[in-house]
Structure 1
Amino acid sequence: MAAVAKRPPLTVSLLWRALLRATSSKTVWAMLAGGAMAMLIRYLQDMLRRFQQQEAESLWRRHVDLGVVQACLLTTEHLKSLGRVEKRTLFVKPIAEVFRNEYVLANVLRTAEKAVAKNEPFLVTHMSQEDKWHVLTTCTNHLSSCFAPYHVFFNEARRVESYYQSAWYVFTLTCAQTEASGRWFITPLKPVGKNDVGMLRIRILMMNEQELRDISSGAIEPPSFGFFNGRHESRWTTCQRFAELFGRQLTRVAGTDDVGGAEWGPNLCGRLSNSKKKGSNPLLSSMGSGPPEPEENCILRIHVPFPAGKGGGIEESDSRRLEECVSKDVVLFE
């Protein structure tokens, strides 16, 4: 019987040489490199996810939400009787959906931070005249889409008997955080305390033009018994500032300080240049001598059609119907 060959003893040097032979293949090194890269990517993804979660929690606890744009309507319908300035939300959209251009988006966010630092909620006062125009017209498109079918119905109201009428609203862009208390009536047995602050958010703020006229002229005043709470008093301060910007624009266009009775004129799309084109507003042309100030061109008007309870019928004069149907800007741009 042949003797079985005796294997050499297993030593560290033999194991090391075997490992070197196994790892000399390029395939093995590629697998090791791929595994290490996958682990590194997974680790970085986990780190980024944890950072985003911590940042989101920090913003939430500080009541900061600059990732969306809220369009809202302020109204003084209950100011005299209850001391309340009501806020009605029209829509809430991701800010990247409202301002799709990355440059415009970055500009709006940067200006919002500047406005908050200077305690000026109307952030458009910190924009250049050109940027104001593009930002506000972008907001016009989103606001107008809220009343999309009504525009078609009101357009047909010029031809047939209809109950559709129209109203003029004014809007601007703000960024502010209400720090006054306002939720105590929801939890009367457990007040929320000092941290009862509103959300810091970019808002498209809209108000009825006649209300702004009445606030600017003093026809609408806060009640003698005070406001419902600090939150509504803060909203009233915003309304007053809004009316101030509105009155400033109207008096410059109309050439009179009578805000309550001043008219925008027949052509509000006039140019500041000395153009002699037909339809150019001579009053606007005369304003082209100096550059607009930061508080000018901070508002735009928007035509809002609505179904009314009683229609004017087709017997109304054509001139009045046309005046109600034509949308006009309130800007003093070149």
Structure 2
Amino acid sequence: MLAGGALASILRLLRDVWIKRRRAASQNLWRRHVDFSVVQACILTTEHLQSLGRVEKRTLFVKPIAEVFRNEYILERLLEQAEKAAASHEPMLMTQLSHEDKWHVLNTCSNHISSLFAPYHVFFNEARRVESHYKSAWYCFTLTCAQTSASGRWFITPFKPVGKDDVGMLRIRIVMMNEQELREVASGELEAPSSGFLNGRHEERWKVIQSFAELFNRQITKVSGGEPVSEADWGPNLCGRLSNSSRKRGGSRPRLASDSALAHPRRASDNLSEPVEPQTPSHDPQDNSILRIHVPFPSSHFEHTAVSDNVCKDVMVYE
């Protein structure tokens, strides 16, 4: 009895210590404005950039990160690279991931974003058969991990400055932008306002947009063969061109350059005494760090459009 009571007391003590440490760690993260427990999806728009010096951010959803990325390996890799991205002050999280991990992360995000417009996809699909007020637009998205250190809440409490704690939350974000806006930024048609930004927070959002536009420009330039970004076309697969072997095999995922090497790591003519390491495709970290998504939406008036314009479109991730 005494041994059982002592064991129960020790277990309760260990539990209390664990709870206190967990609370202290959570409080420390909160004080540092760090929250990796959720994923935020948002839209950045330059609608009021020139007139007001503002880069607007609108939240689409905030979900527990374990709910969005259910695979434990991908979740662990994403959190690991998010911490590295935050330490290096590199906001574009996708450039930190391996080529294979990018494919899984982007497709997972695409599913969650697409579900926001679930009924619109059905209504837009019926536009092929009946007169419809539904139109569509192309958006691009990527993942970021950054914390805006500049102040930005003063306009909410102008007579009670927030002080040094007026910083943004460090978290993983799925950032969406209209493709046409990205083209305008990438081509130089849309620049920072000559009158300056409303505050430092909007300026830092603009820097994220510039980095996003660089990834967009890099991707579409490689696909189109160097055409001007304002006129470049994505090709028949809407986000890149596939090799002939990929087209024959079908499916939504192109064949990677290393697939055959991984499937057949050794041939009969190889020297059996020398180990053969699986080959990996050569990709720059900036490659394939964005994905396009087709967003249908209701319009205020009906316009006759070609049948080909009123169909749901699939998008390939890789070239």
Superposed displacement of residue 330, structure 1: 4.4
Larger radius of gyration: 1
Matches within 5 A, 1:289-300: 291-300=282-291
Superposed displacement of residue 70, structure 1: 0.5
Q: Which amino acid aligns with 1:173?
A: L
Superposed displacement of residue 267, structure 1: 2.5
SS at match of 1:295: coil
The alpha-carbon distance between structure 1 residues 75 and 163, as it changes in their structure 2 partners (threshold 3 A), is same
SS at match of 2:50: helix
1:320 maps to: 309
Q: Structure 1 CA distance, aligned partners of 2:246 and 2:298?
A: 40
1:91 maps to: 61
**Aligned residues, how many?**
293
Q: Structure 2 CA distance, aligned partners of 1:206 and 1:221?
A: 19
Matches within 5 A, 1:40-119: 40-119=10-89
Q: Structure 1 CA distance, aligned partners of 2:130 and 2:213?
A: 36
Q: Structure 2 CA distance, aligned partners of 1:231 and 1:257?
A: 34
1:216 maps to: 186
1:187 maps to: 157
Superposed displacement of residue 274, structure 1: 5.2
Structure 2 contact 135–310 (Cα < 8 Å) conserved: no
Match of 2:108 among 88, 113, 138: 138
Q: Structure 2 CA distance, aligned partners of 1:272 and 1:326?
A: 16
The alpha-carbon distance between structure 1 residues 175 and 155, as it changes in their structure 2 partners (threshold 3 A), is same
Q: Which amino acid aligns with 2:314?
A: S
Q: Structure 2 CA distance, aligned partners of 1:90 and 1:320?
A: 26
Superposed displacement of residue 319, structure 1: 2.9
Q: Structure 1 CA distance, aligned partners of 2:249 and 2:19?
A: 58
Q: Structure 1 CA distance, aligned partners of 2:71 and 2:201?
A: 34
Q: Structure 2 CA distance, aligned partners of 1:175 and 1:74?
A: 15
Could you report, residue by residue, the CA deviation over 1:246-279 in whole angstroms, capped at 9, with x for unpaired residues? 0100011011241111111123476654538469
SS at match of 2:245: coil
The alpha-carbon distance between structure 1 residues 271 and 185, as it changes in their structure 2 partners (threshold 3 A), is closer
Match of 1:302 among 287, 290, 293: 293
Matched, 1:178 2:167: no
Q: Structure 1 CA distance, aligned partners of 2:135 and 2:294?
A: 10
Structure 1 contact 115–123 (Cα < 8 Å) conserved: yes
Matched, 1:157 2:127: yes
SS at match of 2:310: helix
Q: Structure 2 CA distance, aligned partners of 1:227 and 1:329?
A: 36
Instruction: State TM-score, norm by structure 2.
Output: 0.86
Q: Structure 2 CA distance, aligned partners of 1:219 and 1:310?
A: 30
Q: Structure 2 CA distance, aligned partners of 1:146 and 1:328?
A: 17
Superposed displacement of residue 184, structure 1: 1.1
Which runs of 5 or more structure 2 residues have no equivalent in the other structure? 259-280
Could you report, residue by residue, the CA deviation over 1:222-261 in whole angstroms, capped at 9, with x for unpaired residues? 2111101000000001001100100100011011241111
Which runs of 5 or more structure 1 residues have no equivalent in the other structure? 1-30
SS at match of 1:70: strand
SS at match of 1:328: coil
Structure 2 contact 223–241 (Cα < 8 Å) conserved: no
Q: Relative contact order (C-alpha < 8 Å, sep 6+): which is higher?
A: 2
Superposed displacement of residue 174, structure 1: 0.8
Superposed displacement of residue 127, structure 1: 1.1
Superposed displacement of residue 329, structure 1: 2.5
Structure 1 contact 165–306 (Cα < 8 Å) conserved: yes
SS at match of 2:289: coil
Q: Structure 2 CA distance, aligned partners of 1:268 and 1:278?
A: 18
Structure 1 contact 111–126 (Cα < 8 Å) conserved: yes
Structure 1 contact 150–305 (Cα < 8 Å) conserved: yes
Q: Structure 2 CA distance, aligned partners of 1:171 and 1:32?
A: 62
Q: Once superposed, which parts of structure 1, at least 4 consecutive aligned residues long, lie more than 6 Å away? A: none
Could you report, residue by residue, the CA deviation over 1:1-30 in whole angstroms, capped at 9, with x for unpaired residues? xxxxxxxxxxxxxxxxxxxxxxxxxxxxxx
Could you report, residue by residue, the CA deviation over 1:88-133 in whole angstroms, capped at 9, with x for unpaired residues? 0011111111111111110000011111122111111111110111
Q: Structure 2 CA distance, aligned partners of 1:330 and 1:49?
A: 43
Identity of aligned residues (%): 65
Could you report, residue by residue, the CA deviation over 1:180-206 in whole angstroms, capped at 9, with x for unpaired residues? 111111121222223321000000111
